[in-house]
Amino acid sequence: MDITLTSLETEHSKLLSAKIAAQIASEGGWMSFSRYMEMALYEPGFGYYSAGAHKLGAGGDFTTAPELSPLFGAAICSTLLPVLEGLKEKGLPAQILEFGAGSGKLAQSILTRLQDLGFSLDRYDIIEISPDLAQRQKALLTSTLNNSKSSTQCNWLSALPEDYKGIVLANEVIDAIPCDTIIYQNGFWYWYGVTVNDEKFSWKAGKPVEQHLLPENLLLEHFSEGYVTELHIPAHSWMRQVAQHLNTGLFLTLDYGFPEGEYYHPQRLEGTLMAHHRHHAIQDPFYLPGLCDLTTHVEWSQIARCALEENADDVYLTNQAAYLLDAGIGEIALELGDPGNPEVFLPISNALQKLLSEAEMGELFKVFAFSKNLDALLPGYQLEDLPGLRGRNRL
């Protein structure tokens, strides 16, 4: 792979590598992968999301659905609007909180679409751990709100408020929560962590994994020697915390992943862990620490259980294509562009292809949602009747 780095990028990665190596040494020569991933992504001043870098879009390391087209956010509004109207009818604030808002494009498209539909949103809050992304969001959304003369307040928070009443969004957030890796050897599961060999990071098996931490699929299926996969304990903790803090409203997230039967399939021998740099997918997670994004696919079944354990009323899972089509993205595309004008409609058509195609984002990306106390807010209007969230899917 031909990736040319500047001297500053090279030095940056070397400095973070030295910090990680020192931490490994302080822990006796072995570090859990979740700790490595945490440092690689979030170490203050050095981690991928903690240091300044152009991460999103054509010139960045990856492109998300909101970057492809405002149609994505506009379609999501088909689900959000009935919930927001119900909140307002009950005298509650019509508000949205977004985790990890990226460049701000999703927030911008939602705010624009709601205004076009004549709905006045009270607040749009963002929780963002990346300082440079927060700056980009503020510049974009301040301009958007000023140009529209909207009364909506946009704020950046450090944490989800307790007893939150509103809508919580998270687009491609769970995949970047640090995970642990485990390996199957000699009939047992072991933690698969990080050590240093010849001044390079490498894999090393550690202690056996406690049985109660293993998903049922890993205990019942037969796996080949050396099978590697991930455990998502921090993501489960995050999901529980969100569900605890959401008092009334809707949680909606979109991300790539599988239910547990597919995730822990015996033929998925090397797990789902992946690095990304300048639109290259890289299988080596130790490549250019601090300069590469690290992600894993989401295991949706346990995410759903975590929400239900924290008193979510119901949970929903479907693929992105089915959700967006049901939410009316095709009709919205016709609203925004004339098919008879190729210059205008071709970019819209290309974006739809990427968002909906099974070969692109349509099947691999899933939409997961849960509701809390919405029945009282929306009498006779069950969540499965909301556009884009029809019917409960088995997890």
Query: Is the confidence at residue 61, as pLDDT, over 80?
Result: no
pLDDT in tens, 273-286: 999 987 688 999 99
Position 300 scores a pLDDT of 96
Query: Is the confidence at residue 172, as pLDDT, over 90?
Result: yes
Provide the pLDDT confidence category of residue 360 given band limits of 50, 70 and 90.
very high
Mean pLDDT of the chain: 90
Domain count along the chain: 1
In a domain, 186, yes or no: no
Phi, psi of 152 (to 5 degrees): -65, 135
In a domain, 138, yes or no: yes
In a domain, 213, yes or no: no
Pick the more confident residue, 395 or 296: 296
In a domain, 220, yes or no: no
CATH code for position 137:
3.40.50.12710
pLDDT in tens, 304-359: 999 999 999 888 899 999 999 999 999 999 988 777 777 778 888 999 999 999 98
Position 64 scores a pLDDT of 85
Separation between Cα atoms, residue 136 and residue 104, nearest integer Å: 7
Separation between Cα atoms, residue 388 and residue 284, nearest integer Å: 37
pLDDT in tens, 232-259: 999 999 999 999 999 999 999 999 999 9
In a domain, 13, yes or no: no
Query: Is the confidence at residue 148, as pLDDT, over 90?
Result: no
In a domain, 217, yes or no: no
In a domain, 244, yes or no: yes
Q: From 306, 289, 376, select the one nearest 19 (Cα to Cα).
A: 289
Whether the full predicted model's pTM is greater than 0.75, yes or no, is yes
Q: What percent of the chain has pLDDT over 90?
A: 75
Position 382 scores a pLDDT of 54
In a domain, 192, yes or no: no
Query: Is the confidence at residue 43, as pLDDT, over 50?
Result: yes
By residue range, what is the domain housing residue 354?
65-177+233-269+298-385
- Where helices occur in the chain by DSSP H, the ranges are 7-26, 33-42, 65-68, 71-89, 105-116, 131-148, 216-220, 233-245, 260-263, 300-309, 320-326, 329-336, 342-356
Position 383 scores a pLDDT of 59
